[in-house]
Amino acid sequence: MIGLRAFDRFGKKAEVGCWLGKKYWRKGFGTEAMNAIIRFAFAKLKLVRLEAEIFVENKPSAGLVQKLGFKKEGRKRKGTRAKSTGKWHDTYSFGLLRSDVKL
């Protein structure tokens, strides 16, 4: 699953999120899907900025977005509550600008 949310037409930005079942981890599917949605967001939707909020303990996801050019912009204490467990998690905020990407 991959998608854009918190879409802001005026601000020309959105938040990107990606989820893969465990048996599909480390096979390149996340990279392929994220590259496709980045191209779609910047080339077709003409967004200027993409954002990603990632649990601090989720090192593989943080590594994925950084590999794709996202910059770590900060840490939010109790930034997100997990729907699956109800627990609060600190998150890292990452951002990617259209000017950072070759389309």
Q: 59-67 and 29-39 are packed helices; what angle lies between their axes, rounded to 10 degrees?
A: 50
| pLDDT interval class at 103 (50, 70, 90) | confident
| 53/72 Cα distance (integer angstroms) | 10
Amino acid 19: pLDDT = 87
| pLDDT interval class at 75 (50, 70, 90) | very high
| Residue 3 DSSP class | E
The fraction of the chain above a pLDDT of 90, given in percent, is 87
* Domains held by the chain: number: 1
Pairing of strands 88-97, 49-55: antiparallel
Beta pairing partners, 50? 14, 96
Amino acid 77: pLDDT = 97
How much is the average pLDDT of 11-38? 93
Range of the domain at 81: 2-100
pTM of structure: 0.91
CATH number of domain containing 64: 3.40.630.30
- Let me know: does 4 contact 14? Beta carbons within 8 Å: yes
| 9/57 Cα distance (integer angstroms) | 31
Beta pairing partners, 2? 18
- CA 53 vs. chain centroid, Å, equals 6
